[in-house]
Amino acid sequence: MTHSLHRVKGQHGLDDDFVVLCMPSKDINHEGSGPKLRQFLELALEHEPSNLGDARLGNRWWQGGLDKMLDNIEDRAVVTAAFNDKAKLVSFLKAVKEADLGLSVVVSGLVEHVAECCEQAGVKRHTENRSLKIWGNTDLLPSEDILSVSTMCGHAMVPAHLVEYMIKRVKNGRMTPVEAATELAKPCQCGIMNIDRAAEILKELSEV
Amino acid sequence: MIILRDKCSRCGKCSRYCPMNAISLNRSKKYFEVDLEKCVECYNCYRQAGCEDDALYPQKLGWPRTIRNLMSDELSVAEESGISGRGTEEMKTNDVTGRFAYGKVGVAVEMGRPQVSAHLIEVEKVSMALAKVGVEFEPDNPITSLMADKETGKFKDDVLQERCLSAIIELRTKMENLPKIMEAIKEVSGELNTVCSVCVASKLEEDGTNPSLAVLDELGIEYRPNPKTNVSLGKPFYAFQK
């Protein structure tokens, strides 16, 4: 599952895009991990995330509310939180380290920012997964700017034409950028669609 | 997924949520319908459109169509991996599993990503090209289970025409094999009628250097500036040795 990798830069860039994931490992530390995964999300909520979710059972919209999502977390869940700010990321990583959950944590984002934030939070980078971009028949792809929004759902549940539809809604004043970005976040069950970044991009693209 | 024509009131909301553009107005223009060849059974329309007419109906899936749902619905849990999504724990838990040791790399080729989708016959082209250079396919990945022969990367014949939003071919190998693997992917990617997103995972050196980047630079292969990084918080911590 590489769902938080391969996020496309577009004209907007990636300076405001970080995803933090927490998961147990099968047969090593998964037993009793549910409450720790819940604690990870509760800590995230204290640090103003742009979004968050449970990749196993779905996001808050699908599960009928944040409390239900938190109550339903299972031992083998994969939970995530997205941030748009380095300071929040540092503060959150410090809190997760302090909580000593004992579960694996993965941070996605521009490498120089992630390295800096890890150093400030006192956590050590261990293993890295690098995207080598897109190969094959790339003529089949939507534009880079549309991909900069849609690839924030790594499972492709945010279709390019839905992004285009939301840009039109913002352009003609039927929705604010944040409302449109929130609608786009709903199909992303893992909760890694960065709503703040999506809203900024929708605003920029609607002004073109 | 099918649409019950007698119930459909033609609002078209479901079509906006279909990643495959598989939902369109029928020729008679009296109702929307699903192109079942294109549909990957991801259930995005069913979950997101909130059809007030109750016209969307997730029909019972039989083999091999079940593969479409498994590899497209992000909430499906694969028996092999035990987790939701389309892959495995891969490097995300490397701090406790030691799956990618010093000198080893993980390579993943996610066929159909982003947004294009892939038939398994396209996935097979890549798996067979990789098998020729000698790789170990990840046993916990559901795509590996669809192979009739893991030595050749050949898939079972009855699954080849199935389509999914994306399918991840995952493998582990020695760092020294990375150039020939990259060459094999490069060569076969010119024959694809889809796209693939490729990535390489490796344990960082003590100073934070990623050893695979020097190999990729040597090969002239570009990589994105936004990796995902395991940050050593899992326990019990795996004792890596050089």
pLDDT confidence of residue A208: 87
Residue A102's CB is within 10 A of a number of other CB atoms, namely 15
Asked if the C-beta of A2 comes within 8 angstroms of chain B's C-beta atoms, the answer is: yes
List beta partners, residue B196: A135, B111
Q: What is the pLDDT of residues B85-95, one digit of tens each?
A: 677 899 999 99
Q: Which of helix, strand or coil describes residue B54? A: coil
Yes or no, beta carbons of B192 and A136 under 8 Å apart: yes
Range of the domain at B198: 75-219
Helices A195-206 and A160-171, packing angle to 10 deg = 60
The answer to whether ipTM exceeds 0.95 is yes
Question: What is the C-alpha separation between B157 and B159, in angstroms, rounded?
Answer: 6
Output DSSP code: residue B158.
G
| Token pair for A8 | 């496309």
Q: What is the pLDDT of residues B106-128, one digit of tens each?
A: 999 999 999 999 999 999 999 99
Please name the residue of chain A whose CA is at the shortest distance from the CA of residue B221. A132
Is A47 domain-assigned?
yes
Burial B20-39 (b: 16+ CB within 10 A, else e): bebbeeeeeeebbbbeeeeb
Q: What is the pLDDT of residues B144-203, one digit of tens each?
A: 999 999 999 999 999 999 999 999 999 999 999 999 999 999 999 999 999 999 999 999
Please name the residue of chain A whose CA is at the shortest distance from the CA of residue B72. A155
Range of the domain at A39: 18-121
CATH number of the structural domain spanning residue A94: 3.30.70
B15 with B55: CB under 8 angstroms? no
pLDDT confidence of residue B80: 67
| B18 has pLDDT over 80 | yes
pLDDT confidence of residue B140: 87
Yes or no, beta carbons of B97 and A25 under 8 Å apart: yes
Is B236 domain-assigned?
no
Number of domains within chain B = 2
Q: Which of helix, strand or coil describes residue A46? A: coil
**Average pLDDT of every residue of chain B:** 95
Last residue of a domain, one of A121, A146, A181: A121
Q: Between A78, A105, A111, which is nearest B84 by CB?
A: A78
| B236 has pLDDT over 60 | yes
| Token pair for A66 | 């944040």
